[in-house]
Amino acid sequence: MRTPLIAGNWKMHMTGTAAAELVAELLETELNTGAQVLICPPFTALAAVAEVLEDAPVHLGAQNMHWEEQGAYTGEISPAMLVDAGCEYVILGHSERRQLFGETDEGVARKAAAAFAHHLIPVICCGETEAQRDAGETAAHIRSQVTAAVRGLRAADAAQAVIAYEPIWAIGTGKTATTEQAQEVCRLIREVLAEVQNEEVAQAVRILYGGSVKPANIAALMAQPDIDGALVGGASLTAADFAGIVNYGEEA
Binding status of residue 231 toward ligand PEP by CB under 6 A: yes
Q: Is 94 one of the catalytic residues?
A: yes
Out of 213, 222, 227, 243, the only residue in the binding site for ligand PEP (CB under 6 A) is 213
Nearer to ligand PEP, 73 or 101 (CB): 101
Q: Is 34 left (phi over 0), alpha (psi -120 to 50) or beta?
A: alpha
Binding status of residue 210 toward ligand PEP by CB under 6 A: yes
Least distance from ligand PEP to the Cβ atom of residue 41, Å:
14
Show contacts with ligand PEP in window 2-31 (CB under 6 A). Answer: 9
What is the C-alpha separation between 230 and 165, in angstroms, rounded?
Answer: 9
Ranges assigned E (strand) in the chain: 5-9, 36-40, 58-62, 89-92, 121-126, 162-165, 206-210, 229-232
Least distance from ligand PEP to the Cβ atom of residue 202, Å:
23
- Nearest alpha carbon to residue 86 among 33, 154, 39: 39
What is the C-alpha separation between 163 and 52, in angstroms, rounded?
Answer: 27
- Give how many residues touch ligand PEP by CB under 6 A: 13
Show contacts with ligand PEP in window 157-186 (CB under 6 A). Answer: 166, 171-172
Amino acid at 7: A
Q: Is 166 one of the catalytic residues?
A: yes
Give residues in contact with ligand PEP (CB under 6 A).
Answer: 9, 166, 171-172, 210-213, 231-235
> Which sequence positions are flagged as catalytic?
94, 166
